[in-house]
Structure 1
Amino acid sequence: MRFELFYDLVAFLPSILAQTSTCADPSGCRCVYGQYCWPSERDFDSLSAQLSVPLIRPIPPASACYPVGNPSGNCSDVQQNWSNGIWRSDQPGAYEFSNFETYTNSANGSVSGCYLNTTLGLPCEQGSVAPVGVDARTVGDVQAAVRFAGEYNLRLVVKNTGHDLLGRSAARGAFMIWTHHLKNISYDANFIPEGGSDYETVPALTLGAGVQWKEAYAAASEQQRYIMGGISDDMSNGAAGGWVMGGGHGPLSPKYGLGVDNVVQFTIVTPNGDHVVANAYRHSDLFWALRGGGAGSWGVVTSATYRTYDLVPLVLVSMNATFPDSQAAQRVTTELVRLQPKLSDAGWGGFSSFNNVFLSLLFLAPDVSWAEVNTTILPFFNFVGDAAGPSNVEILTKPFDNFYAWLNTLTPSGLPQVGVNWELASRLMSRDMAENHTEESAQLLLSFDFISLVLVAGGVVGRADPDSVGLNPGWRKAAALAVTVETWKEGASSSVVFEARQRIAEYVRRLEPISPDSATYMNEASLYEPDFRKSFFGSHYNRLRSIKRKYDPTSTFLVVEGVGSEDWNGDLTCPL
């Protein structure tokens, strides 16, 4: 059925929920909201009685601004916080990229969504926001929700902050498990993984599934420890869910490895509703799969435990440059590409963005002397000055006592980072391409209107055993991650959206030459991969598929381009 305006939806829900429940669809299709198989109001009441807090009814964040002229909620609050990642993460119906709140029907071209710009004259509809869910506050809440979803054969999504850049925590008509309030944090200087030996202790921080990096960093800082984590404009992204299951990179990954290299234990509610420990000694196959096998495919992670490190000083190195012509851009970009393996081998990480007009970069160099900094980066700075002209280059180097001292100086960029329509295309640039095909790689990267080169590979990442975790082995041969984006205006027609998505698919094709293995980071990738099994999982896919069959034989947990999704239709509602 078509999703109506939120204020109509609220009035209409009881009549829908009052329908008689039925058994699972004999075709094997998942049950979604509005179908005859959807649980009755009595069924939901029974579930609610098992929970810590009442069921939630997620709505698109802009719903408060409708009906136009008589808003149902605090529209000014929505307008003020639309681009605030922390605020968005606190709304069960909001996502980092607002296009994932919208449902675009590829069959008939219709678009269902709810837009902040009420002057568009478009209706406010539920879109891809799940209409009902469980606000999990305990492991028991998660178990009850998983068992309920299995019993009624529901299309299920798991959401924490909504920072999934492929929209895997959203689905039209689904039942949601919201883990955002699982906020427990504990530190153990002598953590022993369950089943491990007393002499295998590790200083570790255990994070509940709802902990965000802002909170994780604060907790680690209190203990005077460093935790290798991710970064965003306001640190609102989750620290113990999809980030690590997709690999988990951060600005110091070349020094300390990826998230999958640092997590030592998970707790997880499996598809049958059991709560188990997964580590090197308990459910070791599941532990392997959780480290790079992707989010939303294995169950609901309730906690992740990470090793921590001594705090060390670091040096910030940043540069902004403008190019007088395309020849200067080509020369500088070629040297930038050549520099990537050298920096990561020295433990440096960071980000650079560029095109034929400008270059902006930021690198972090942990635990190095000033002499080492100068030896590593000064030749490049001198090269850029010669190519672009000294007056076109701004350079900053600054020491910090530790990572958190630098982090506390960050301020939001001022540009919208959330609440926009964005989709990505990416590829891991191989070390071989950076070292032996440098000029061609630079030329390819400059063919884009805008591209980022994220220095989160190489170094320790490249020295890890490729088969130690479920992560795509292509990561271990990579020099950096190349990412580009496509965007469109709010309220765009389906034809405009489809054209943008076609461009994203074309960007993926154009990026292929820098990644001979067609490998990429699944958390920052395209929804239109020609072969997601190859690009996301590589040679590990068959083993991951086998583990998936063992723990989730009925495919209770499915996500777009996730393990096992190739056996289902595009909406992941019916088997092929």
Structure 2
Amino acid sequence: MLHFVTFVVGFLLSWGFLSSLQDPPSCRCRPWEPCWPDSHQWTSLNASIDGNLVHVQPVGSVCHDPHYDAVACGDVLDLSRNSGWRASNPATLQDWIWETGSGDNESCLLVSSSERPQEIPCHQGRLPLYSAAVKSTAHVQGVVRFAKDHNLRLVIKNTGHDATGRSAAPDSLQIHTYFLKDIHYHDNFLVHGDATGSGPAVTLGAGVVHSEVYKHGIDHKYSVVGGECPTVGIVGGFLQGGGVSSWSGFTRGLAVDNVLEYQVVTANAELVIANEHQNQDLFWALRGGGGGTFGVVTQATVRAFPDDPTVVSTLVLSSTRADTSFWVKAISRLLSILRSCNQQNVHGQLIITRPSVDILNAGLTLHFSNMTNVLHAETLLQPHIASLSEDQISTTLTSKFVANINSELRLDADIHPRGIGTLQTSMMISNELFGSSEGPLTVAQVFGKLPIGPNDLLFTSNLGGCIAANKGLDTAIHPAWRSSAHLVTYVRSVEPSIEAKKLALKEITNKYMPILYSMQPSFKVSYRNLGDPNEKNYQEVFWGEKVYKRLASIKAKLDPDGLFISKLGVGSEDWDTEGMCYQPQNRVSQPLRSLKYFLLVLKDT
């Protein structure tokens, strides 16, 4: 032990180690400071990435003086509803909420002149000042190096679907990975460093969105574990944050359970391969540790599965009844059906919407994987339907055979209501609760306390099944993923105003999350990709103490200067809200902080 202590002390006192423990810059460089790159340096960066640097202007500027243009404003108002257009544009996120700051002087709301007078000035808000539409790994390396050399705030946008606005930050330089579109199918993928193949797989560039890989899968007869939204980038935050699939998670696991290899540009601008044989710490961290935190992922290789036939059955309940007790009873019964189906290896999803002020809809969609007989599926459901009828709960059942699941998924970009923003939050339902005698009723009672407006949404995603069976996998997700039955996601719509945004953010944290967590107060676990944007205890809620400590130690080793900081991400507790200024919470010196992480690393080895 004495020799060990002597070694540690001697190593720490060496000039080389101490020099690596310098504090990160107190703040990133801002445009008004002498350290900000001059026009020649920006021009040089642009040339080095083949002219793909964009000086970002808010798309709403054409709806405001002095750039007002009635025709252009009308065009942008229409385009802004298209999720695909928003994904491809460096000046847009998927939601205006995260494009704006906290005041009118930090926004450029995209609304017609009748809703917001054109003479109201347009401001940059949270949008980056520059965006690099990278087309190669060399481009990514060049931008990372430029940001590091000039001490710039760096953000990464894939498609901008992030639910807490991590794809943007004020006065930042953005890496836009949307145009890295390579897709390559492998009959038997050989992981770097491995002597044997890993079976069918597909390598996806960072900018490939779900609809693109699903279309490719139709042509090549394979499927992957993916999400439902067609314009979400599969390799970005979706995969790196865990990757929940409502239609295949139960049978295939989480997306991170099925990633074989990453290609990554690290904080020192080095291009590396991360898998189970090399850069293992980085590989582990990227399987659940969150996007925009450990490097810029330029491509990933994930397992490919047969595109199996499926029978899809949907039970729909729609009523104008405002009786809360009726709806609690009805939702409880639908959840009981879902629980029974799960026990028979049939997975599903409950979706609750309010298509109009007077009507509430509840739909339970069930997936009978590897089944071809529609009549057989409906026969299995008949006892449940009969039981509902006895309780005066009227439902409509529709079923169809789907020869390949890819063709059933949404392939066209979503068109959103004009001007409406959304905030999302989530929580998990434990197996213990859902499997209890009163589990479905308890869940339904909590659902009944949540307001569902005409543009709001409440839905479940089936966990359990293969997700639970994969509990032996060493991934960076919260351990509770393996012991949870369902993920609940609540989507709150927001009218286009700063005041409405502030109110909605406050209500998500102070009103709706307490309601959801009242379901099982001792079990507070949420999905980082869809978590409360103001979550104070995010380390525990998103990852759990043990996983977070390991992630923090890896972050300290790979990115000691905090080049990759994302909101509520690993290491972000030492930075301000926008990741601009270094503000360690405990105010200890960086050497002591780094010593703590060094000892954690030694402990793990």
Task: Judge same fold: TM > 0.5, yes or no.
Answer: yes
Output the CA distance in 1 between the equivalents of 2:468 and 2:508.
28
Q: Which runs of 5+ in 1 are unaligned?
A: 1-23
SS at match of 2:48: coil
2:240 corresponds to? 245
Q: Does 1:208 align with 2:205?
A: yes
Output the CA distance in 2 between the equivalents of 1:73 and 1:36.
40
Amino acid at match of 1:113: C
Deviation at 1:337, TM superposition (A): 2.9
Distance 1:570 1:405, change over 3 A: closer
Alignment of 1:558-569 (within 5 A): 558-569=565-576
Deviation at 1:370, TM superposition (A): 4.5
Q: Does 1:155 align with 2:158?
A: no
Q: Does 1:572 align with 2:567?
A: no
Output the CA distance in 2 between the equivalents of 1:66 and 1:371.
58
2:387 corresponds to? 383
CA contact (8 A) 2:249 2:463 kept: yes
Deviation at 1:443, TM superposition (A): 0.7
Deviation at 1:27, TM superposition (A): 5.5
Alignment of 1:105-504 (within 5 A): 111-119=106-114, 120-121=116-117, 122-198=120-196, 200-232=197-229, 235-250=230-245, 251-323=247-319, 324=321, 325-345=323-343, 346-353=345-352, 357-368=360-371, 370=374, 373-374=377-378, 376-390=380-394, 393-407=395-409, 416=417, 420-436=420-436, 437-438=438-439, 439-450=441-452, 452-465=458-471, 468-493=474-499, 496-504=500-508
Deviation at 1:364, TM superposition (A): 2.6
1:101-154 Cα distance to aligned partner (Å, 9 max, x none): 11115xxx8542232323312322111110112110010000011111111111
Output the CA distance in 2 between the equivalents of 1:412 and 1:332.
33
Distance 1:330 1:135, change over 3 A: same
Distance 1:131 1:315, change over 3 A: same
Output the CA distance in 2 between the equivalents of 1:59 and 1:344.
49
Distance 1:192 1:374, change over 3 A: same
Q: Does 1:550 align with 2:557?
A: yes
Distance 1:216 1:354, change over 3 A: same
SS at match of 1:483: strand
1:252-301 Cα distance to aligned partner (Å, 9 max, x none): 11111111011111100001100001111111111111011001100100
Distance 1:411 1:384, change over 3 A: farther
Q: Does 1:540 align with 2:547?
A: yes
Output the CA distance in 1 between the equivalents of 2:98 and 2:105.
15
CA contact (8 A) 2:250 2:462 kept: yes
Distance 1:347 1:553, change over 3 A: farther
CA contact (8 A) 2:459 2:490 kept: no
Distance 1:357 1:386, change over 3 A: farther
Q: How many residues are matched?
A: 541
Output the CA distance in 2 between the equivalents of 1:399 and 1:84.
30
Q: Which runs of 5+ in 2 are unaligned?
A: 1-21, 584-605
1:279-337 Cα distance to aligned partner (Å, 9 max, x none): 11111111111011001100100001111111211111112213543333222222333
Output the CA distance in 2 between the equivalents of 1:155 and 1:472.
28
SS at match of 1:497: helix
1:16 corresponds to? none
Deviation at 1:357, TM superposition (A): 4.2
Distance 1:93 1:456, change over 3 A: farther
CA contact (8 A) 1:161 1:236 kept: yes
Deviation at 1:28, TM superposition (A): 1.7
CA contact (8 A) 2:250 2:467 kept: yes
2:51 corresponds to? 53
Deviation at 1:460, TM superposition (A): 0.5
Output the CA distance in 2 between the equivalents of 1:378 and 1:68.
64
SS at match of 2:174: strand
Percent identity of paired positions between Structure 1 and Structure 2: 30
Q: TM-score, normalised by structure 1?
A: 0.88
Distance 1:259 1:27, change over 3 A: closer
More moved, 437-446 vs 322-331: 322-331
Output the CA distance in 2 between the equivalents of 1:171 and 1:238.
20
SS at match of 2:514: helix
Deviation at 1:162, TM superposition (A): 0.8
Distance 1:267 1:415, change over 3 A: closer
Q: Does 1:518 align with 2:515?
A: no
CA contact (8 A) 2:264 2:299 kept: yes
1:343-395 Cα distance to aligned partner (Å, 9 max, x none): 345142334225894312323322135576346533333333333443xx222
Amino acid at match of 2:108: G
Output the CA distance in 2 between the equivalents of 1:46 and 1:172.
22
Output the CA distance in 1 between the equivalents of 2:536 and 2:52.
42
Deviation at 1:517, TM superposition (A): 3.1
Amino acid at match of 1:363: L
Q: TM-score, normalised by structure 2?
A: 0.84
Q: Does 1:509 align with 2:509?
A: no
CA contact (8 A) 1:31 1:154 kept: yes
Distance 1:488 1:272, change over 3 A: same
Distance 1:476 1:62, change over 3 A: same
Deviation at 1:68, TM superposition (A): 6.8
SS at match of 1:276: strand
1:528 corresponds to? 534
SS at match of 1:191: coil
SS at match of 1:383: helix
Deviation at 1:38, TM superposition (A): 1.7
Amino acid at match of 1:217: Y
Distance 1:150 1:340, change over 3 A: farther
Distance 1:468 1:381, change over 3 A: farther
Output the CA distance in 1 between the equivalents of 2:64 and 2:465.
52
Distance 1:497 1:555, change over 3 A: same
1:208-267 Cα distance to aligned partner (Å, 9 max, x none): 0011111111112211111121111xx111111111011111221111111101111110
> What is the Cα-based RMSD across aligned positions, in Å?
2.4
Distance 1:220 1:32, change over 3 A: farther
Distance 1:376 1:103, change over 3 A: farther
Output the CA distance in 2 between the equivalents of 1:510 and 1:389.
26
CA contact (8 A) 1:245 1:290 kept: yes
